[in-house]
């Protein structure tokens, strides 16, 4: 029927994906292509207005010249039952849409024909009644089966489609590894579920090839009509409509995209991050079901490759997709939590802070996640930035019950130990930090060591064994402690006395005050909250 259709049905599991937007799915990682798709005019509302706020008329007027594609017009009118019964003359784009919905390649076993017909009817009637029949981008409209599945996924009433791996519950479980500091990837590695995939390497392979397959199909789909050309075609239709004079009738009701969040239709797992400068295009936004698969993929890639710039980029685009679709649920929380942990591990405080800001708001909405872990991070972070009013706010934000929970209690103890100058307790707490808090504590442990040294130098006379410094300030070894002192030009304060090194506190005087003041003056600015 439609010449541009792939002759071979795509392998099962990729159902609705292949059809539209295919030229853009090739590889999501070449910037040129992303830019290409951005250059495409935003299809939905603008051309509908006779008076334009921004430069879109140029697109409209250009279209007749640039449209070289004779193959766009489908050969036969839609025989499909639903819309044909009506007296109205349906525009070409709608008929194409209906046809596309019933293409065998797009059919989905889990969605019955009745459901699809009902959905189609609903969609098209709404478009007609709403007056945006001619202005909407039918190319980018999700197919009825996709919409139905998206609805199901959203309401969680039905099990998610088989392709979606269920969210890894292991992210919270305590690590079996006894290493002092956890890695964000450890969090998944250590429990049963993660162990399962390790033993059963097949599953991983499956998934990887699965995604590769899918991209391949997308590549193979014929390119007789590019998305851009379709767009041009549509613009021309609109333009003709305008000359017929009935155009203004479609102006009044506001066009649908601005009515609410977009519903994404993009089926590619990976997507490069690009800052939005215009309303998002549904075909370039991944719906939640796809994003869930993306998250699984990214978790694996992170474990295997540890390529932070890639992971960060991918997480940013995921966050963007979630935001533009207004998805705020436990999955959203999970995405932000994982990104925050990875950013923390890599010391990317800018991204970490962005995630934390979001998480705070999400937890406040009562969405489940790991609020204890992340509230504790907040406190540690504010200790690092020495932001007392924010610390005060963080305290105000805690309930009595939360204060008793281990991560938060730990962070509060750290805070009070430092407030009271109790370096002894502080370094014991440092050694026993839950979750990934040690990454945060690492940021200020150096300056606290200097502060403690200042204390020791003034209080102890005439000297103390170096071992005492090592233990009190929690250095890994005497050598580390000595190195720390040497790093701050304290070589004259170390003395070898019959095989034991002593630290001449009595002679130190104000020696460490300068470095201490300097260390406390330096507070990070990047994305600070």
Partner 1 sequence: MDAIFDDFSQAQKQCDGNLLSQTLSPALSNEELRAIWRTCNAYDVKSVVKRGLQTSEIGKKGAIPKEELQCWTELYAAYWKSAGELLASSQASWTKVYEDWKEVLSILIRGYMSCGFESWTIPCLFVTGKYLREFAIKADAERGSSLDNAAEPNFQDDFDPEAQKNHCLEDCARQLNRVFNLCLSDRAPLESSRKWGIYHVANLLFKTYFKLNSASLSKNILKALSAGRGDMPPLEAFPKSQQVTFKYYEGVLRFLEEDYVQAEKFLTEAWSMCHNNALKNKELILTYLVPCHLLTTHTLPSKKLLEPYPRLQKLFLPLSQHIRKGELHQFDIALQENEDELVKRRIYLTLERGRDIALRNLLRKVFVAGGFEPPKTEGDKPVRRTRVPVAEFAAAISLGSQETLDNDEVECLLANMIYKNLMKGYIARERGIVVLSKSGAFPGTGV
The residues binding partner 1 (CB under 8 A) are: 257-261, 273, 275-280, 316, 319-320, 323-324, 326, 328, 354, 357-358, 360-361, 364, 388-389, 391-393, 395-396, 416, 419-425, 454-456, 458-462, 464, 468, 471-472, 506
CA dist 327 and 331 (Å) reads 9
CB of 443 to partner 1, least distance (A): 20
CB of 423 to partner 1, least distance (A): 6
> With respect to partner 1, which residue has the nearer C-beta, 207 or 410?
410
CA dist 360 and 267 (Å) reads 30
CB 286 within 8 A of CB 323: no
> With respect to partner 1, which residue has the nearer C-beta, 105 or 457?
457
CB of 364 to partner 1, least distance (A): 8
CA dist 151 and 100 (Å) reads 20
CB of 448 to partner 1, least distance (A): 12
Sequence-distant (≥ 6) Cβ neighbours of residue 343 within 8 angstroms: 312, 349, 350, 351, 352, 355
CB 296 within 8 A of CB 55: no
CB of 12 to partner 1, least distance (A): 35
CB of 453 to partner 1, least distance (A): 11
Preceding omega of 440 cis (within 30 degrees of 0): no
> With respect to partner 1, which residue has the nearer C-beta, 5 or 468?
468
Pairing of strands 494-497, 464-465: unpaired
Q: Is the four-CA dihedral 312, 315, 320, 321 of positive or negative sign?
A: positive
Sequence-distant (≥ 6) Cβ neighbours of residue 388 within 8 angstroms: 382
> With respect to partner 1, which residue has the nearer C-beta, 116 or 454?
454
CA dist 408 and 375 (Å) reads 7
> With respect to partner 1, which residue has the nearer C-beta, 22 or 332?
332
CB of 132 to partner 1, least distance (A): 16
CB of 134 to partner 1, least distance (A): 22
CB of 400 to partner 1, least distance (A): 8
> With respect to partner 1, which residue has the nearer C-beta, 121 or 154?
154
CB of 200 to partner 1, least distance (A): 36
> Kindly report the CA angle at 429 between 423 and 432, in degrees rounded to 5?
150
> With respect to partner 1, which residue has the nearer C-beta, 73 or 364?
364
Structure tokens at 433: 């930090």
Residue 5: φ, ψ to 5°: -90, 145
> With respect to partner 1, which residue has the nearer C-beta, 78 or 411?
411
> With respect to partner 1, which residue has the nearer C-beta, 114 or 389?
389
CB of 461 to partner 1, least distance (A): 4
Give the three-class secondary structure for 500.
strand
CA–CA distance from 497 to each of 81, 453, 462, 482, 500 (Å)? 98, 21, 14, 15, 5
CA dist 505 and 115 (Å) reads 81
Structure tokens at 292: 């869930």
**What radius of gyration do the chain's Cα atoms show?**
30
> With respect to partner 1, which residue has the nearer C-beta, 165 or 506?
506
Sequence-distant (≥ 6) Cβ neighbours of residue 269 within 8 angstroms: 211, 214, 286, 290, 293, 294, 297
> With respect to partner 1, which residue has the nearer C-beta, 174 or 261?
261
Total residue count of the chain as it appears in this document: 529
**Which residue, chain included where needed, has tokens 């440092």?**
430
> With respect to partner 1, which residue has the nearer C-beta, 42 or 90?
42
CB of 390 to partner 1, least distance (A): 10
Torsion of the alpha carbons at 103, 109, 115 and 117, rounded to the nearest 10? 10
> With respect to partner 1, which residue has the nearer C-beta, 107 or 529?
529
DSSP 20-53: TTGGGTS-TT-HHHHHHHHHSPP-SSGGG-SS-S
> Kindly report the CA angle at 299 between 298 and 300, in degrees rounded to 5?
90
Q: What is the 3-state secondary structure (H, E, C) of 44-96?
A: CCHHHCCCCCCCCHHHHHHHHHHCCCHHHCCCCCCCCHHHHHCCCCCCHHHHH
Task: Give the H or E element holding residue 497.
Answer: strand 494-497
CB of 419 to partner 1, least distance (A): 6
> With respect to partner 1, which residue has the nearer C-beta, 441 or 464?
464
CB of 498 to partner 1, least distance (A): 14
């Amino acid at each position: 029927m439609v010449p541009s259709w792939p002759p071979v049905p795509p392998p099962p599991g990729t159902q609705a994906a292949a059809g539209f937007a295919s030229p853009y799915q090739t590889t999501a990682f070449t910037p040129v292509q992303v830019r290409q798709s951005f250059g495409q005019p935003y299809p939905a509302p603008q051309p509908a207005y006779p008076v334009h706020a921004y430069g879109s008329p140029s697109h409209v007027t250009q279209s007749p010249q640039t449209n070289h594609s004779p193959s766009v017009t489908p050969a036969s009118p839609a025989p499909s039952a639903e819309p044909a019964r009506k007296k109205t003359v349906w525009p070409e784009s709608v008929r194409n849409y209906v046809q596309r919905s019933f293409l065998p390649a797009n059919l989905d076993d889990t969605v019955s024909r009745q459901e699809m017909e009902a959905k189609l009817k609903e969609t098209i009637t709404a478009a007609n009644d709403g007056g945006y029949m001619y202005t909407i981008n039918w190319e980018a409209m999700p197919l009825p089966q996709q919409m139905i599945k998206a609805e199901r996924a959203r309401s969680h009433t039905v099990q998610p489609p088989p392709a979606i791996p269920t969210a890894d519950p292991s992210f919270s479980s305590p690590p079996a590894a006894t290493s002092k500091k956890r890695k964000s990837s450890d969090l998944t590695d250590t429990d049963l579920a993660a162990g399962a995939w390790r033993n059963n390497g097949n599953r991983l392979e499956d998934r990887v090839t699965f995604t590769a397959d899918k991209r391949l199909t997308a590549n193979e789909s014929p390119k007789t009509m590019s998305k851009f050309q379709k767009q041009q075609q549509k613009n021309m239709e609109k333009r003709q409509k305008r000359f017929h004079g009935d155009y203004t009738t479609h102006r009044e009701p506001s066009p649908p995209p601005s009515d609410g969040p977009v519903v994404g239709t993009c089926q590619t797992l990976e997507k490069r991050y690009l800052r939005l400068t215009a309303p998002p295009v549904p075909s370039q936004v991944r719906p939640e079901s796809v994003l869930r698969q993306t998250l699984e993929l990214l978790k694996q890639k992170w474990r295997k490759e540890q390529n932070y710039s890639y992971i960060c980029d991918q997480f940013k685009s995921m966050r963007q997709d979630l935001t533009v679709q207004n998805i705020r649920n436990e999955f959203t929380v999970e995405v932000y939590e994982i990104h925050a942990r990875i950013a923390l591990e890599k010391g990317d405080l800018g991204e970490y802070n962005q995630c934390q800001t979001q998480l705070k708001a999400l937890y406040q909405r009562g969405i489940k996640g790991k609020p204890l872990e992340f509230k504790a991070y907040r406190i540690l972070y504010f200790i690092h930035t020495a932001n007392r009013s924010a610390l005060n706010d963080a305290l105000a934000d805690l309930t009595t019950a939360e204060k008793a929970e281990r991560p938060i209690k730990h962070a509060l103890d750290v805070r009070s130990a430092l407030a009271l100058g109790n370096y002894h307790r502080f370094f014991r707490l440092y050694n026993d930090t839950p979750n990934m808090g040690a990454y945060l504590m690492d940021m200020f442990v150096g300056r606290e060591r200097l502060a403690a040294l200042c204390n020791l130098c003034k209080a102890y006379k005439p000297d103390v064994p170096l071992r005492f410094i090592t233990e009190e300030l929690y250095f890994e070894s005497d050598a580390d402690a000595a190195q720390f002192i040497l790093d701050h030009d304290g070589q004259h304060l170390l003395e070898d006395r019959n095989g034991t090194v002593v630290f001449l506190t009595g002679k130190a005087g104000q020696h460490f005050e300068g470095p201490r003041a300097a260390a406390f003056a330096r507070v990070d600015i990047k994305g600070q909250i």
